[in-house]
Amino acid sequence: MSTVLDFEPIVDADDRYEVRDWQRRDLNYLSPMPYSANWSQMGCFKTSTGLWLLEKKKVRNALIITSKMGKGAYFSDFYRCLPHTWELYNLGIHGATLRIEDFEKKVNLIEELMVTRMGHHNHPRVFLAHFDIFTEAANNSSYEKSKDRMGIVDRLRQIEWDVILVDEAHRLKNRKAQWTVNIKRMKAKQKHIMTGTGFVNNPAEMWSLLNFLDKDTWSSYWTFRNYFCDQIIDARGFRHIRGSLPYRVDEFRDLRKRLGPRHTMARVHKGITKPIESIHEVELKTDQKRMYDEIKNLLRTLDQQGIPLSSPNVLSQLNRLRQICVGTPKVLNHAFDQKQNRMVTDITLVEPSTKLDEVMTILNELDEPDQKVVVFSNFKDPLLLLEARLEKAGIKYLHMEQSHSERQRYTMWHDVFPNGDHKVFMSTLALGGESINLSCAQYLIFLDKSWSPKDMMQAVGRVYRPGQTGAVEVIYINAKGTVDRYVQSKLTTKGKWFDEIFGD
């Protein structure tokens, strides 16, 4: 039997979303397709379109997979899109809750999945899961704690879902990753993916998404890569991708378009001004420069030895350079790494930091006292240093960290920051760079950049999105004459590859 709801949704008729004309056209196009995609930019209502697609397809059950942060959008939008007779189950590794708006009621996960599998439920039901559930660690953990000795992934595989919808689908880019492999093992009559960034680093990553949708047509990674991707072979015989083959670009674009629409913020939200971007350059401090030069000389040695740029040894040193550009390095210890066959220096970042000096200058020069600022970094240490500076200056801030629970994070960005008097919201890019809404902020500051244009696009999309009432200023703080310029060159190259397939 279906679960009996003992509380009603608190969504008034006035709070329900209306289907826009372009969404209606999308739904009419997507609903008959057994597999499809929504490639729209962040802020173009992919969540509501995906939920309405489930209703349009008249599903009895569906599995939605998204990031932990992305769950918040479904908590907020589910009953603003779908009738209150629909049931939303929030899946965890060891249990589940039936969710109505901000209310959650614990249910028996095993029983609810069995009811879903047998079809013995009166109302359509949707199970909401995050990617981490599909790792081997999660499956083994749930296996050990279950009475019938079955893991969460194994349970979900028993059901032939009417639809599996994967949000933030670019996370399937690594075809060998545990969650990619396990998600592809799920059984479904129909599949739909949603992502504003179809690939993260190079066009070959698109294969994994296509293989999830239609494994018969796109069965071979190497066939896809050799057909669509421009490749070179280096002196050591390794193949490297340098974009799409020029004479295949139109075919590649047509393939992407057939699978589903791509809407841009500029077209959907004509009233929202495009972000204003600026670069602020600073000089490294003496101690920063000393260790920076030491690692730079080490990289020269590795290059002379013929070690390729893609080597983990080289990449780890490049990331160390990026760290040093943000703050002064303090050596914690030295240890010999057998795998890399060299001494490895473990560091933390301390004051002084010219990049944080620049952040404080920006905060002190804001035109209006109530203007809000978002700060992103790839590293935790500089954010902790910024915390201390804000405390000393008496500036209220919110720092979203990995230690915060799913509910704490949701409350932080959804309620506290937009409605409170906190001036600064800070987070690492990995944690806060996607799936949250920070449109109440007018400034976005990057202490450093990601290697991936996807990460940067997603992060800017936190503030440049519906709800934004002014022109957002995006500020990149670069250290002069450092790896920051090299990272930007890589982003520019990858951005051109992306625009070939996904650009207007």
State the pLDDT at residue 255: 96
Task: Give the residue carrying structure tokens 């309620």.
Answer: 415
State the pLDDT at residue 179: 95
Q: 78 pLDDT exceeds 70?
A: yes
Share of the chain above pLDDT 70, in %: 90
Across the beta sheet with 276-282, the strand order is 276-282, 473-479, 443-446, 373-377, 424-428, 397-399
274-324 pLDDT tens trace: 899 999 999 988 888 888 888 787 767 655 555 555 556 667 777 888 888
> Once rounded to an integer, what is the mean pLDDT over residues 79-96?
93
Answer whether 13-267 and 276-282+352-502 agree in fold. yes
Task: Give the residue carrying structure tokens 């909401």.
Answer: 128
CB-CB contact of 142 with 94 (8 Å): yes
State the pLDDT at residue 395: 95
31-47 pLDDT tens trace: 999 999 999 988 899 99
Superfamily of domain 13-267: Tandem AAA-ATPase domain (3.40.50.10810)
What 3-state class would DSSP assign to 52?
helix
> Once rounded to an integer, what is the mean pLDDT over residues 181-196?
96
Share of the chain above pLDDT 90, in %: 62
Q: What is the mean pLDDT of the chain?
A: 88
State the pLDDT at residue 310: 55
> Once rounded to an integer, what is the mean pLDDT over residues 180-192?
97
What phi, psi does 401 have (nearest 5°)?
-125, 165
State the pLDDT at residue 309: 55
Question: What whole-number distance in Å separates Cα of residue 79 and Cα of residue 83?
Answer: 6
State the pLDDT at residue 341: 58
State the pLDDT at residue 1: 41
**Domain extent listing, the chain:** 13-267, 276-282+352-502
CB-CB contact of 413 with 437 (8 Å): yes
State the pLDDT at residue 98: 92
State the pLDDT at residue 165: 98
Under 8 Å CB-to-CB from 134, ≥6 apart: which residues?
A: 65, 153, 178, 179, 182, 183
State the pLDDT at residue 425: 97
Question: What whole-number distance in Å separates Cα of residue 93 and Cα of residue 84?
Answer: 26
> Once rounded to an integer, what is the mean pLDDT over residues 51-67?
97
Question: What whole-number distance in Å separates Cα of residue 432 and Cα of residue 446?
Answer: 12
Question: What whole-number distance in Å separates Cα of residue 285 and Cα of residue 329?
Answer: 10
- What topology does CATH give the domain 276-282+352-502? Rossmann fold (3.40.50)
Q: 344 pLDDT exceeds 90?
A: no
CB-CB contact of 292 with 326 (8 Å): no
CB-CB contact of 328 with 285 (8 Å): yes
Q: 197 pLDDT exceeds 60?
A: yes
Specify the amino acid at residue 445: I
State the pLDDT at residue 308: 54
473-493 pLDDT tens trace: 999 999 998 989 989 998 999
118-156 pLDDT tens trace: 999 999 999 999 999 999 999 999 888 888 888 999 999
Name all contacts of 296-300 with Cβ < 8 Å and 24+ positions apart.
Answer: 296/321
Question: What whole-number distance in Å separates Cα of residue 126 and Cα of residue 122?
Answer: 13
Structure tokens at 364: 């002190």
Question: What whole-number distance in Å separates Cα of residue 112 and Cα of residue 126?
Answer: 11
Half-sphere exposure of 405 toward its Cβ, with a 13 Å CA cutoff?
Answer: 4
State the pLDDT at residue 2: 45
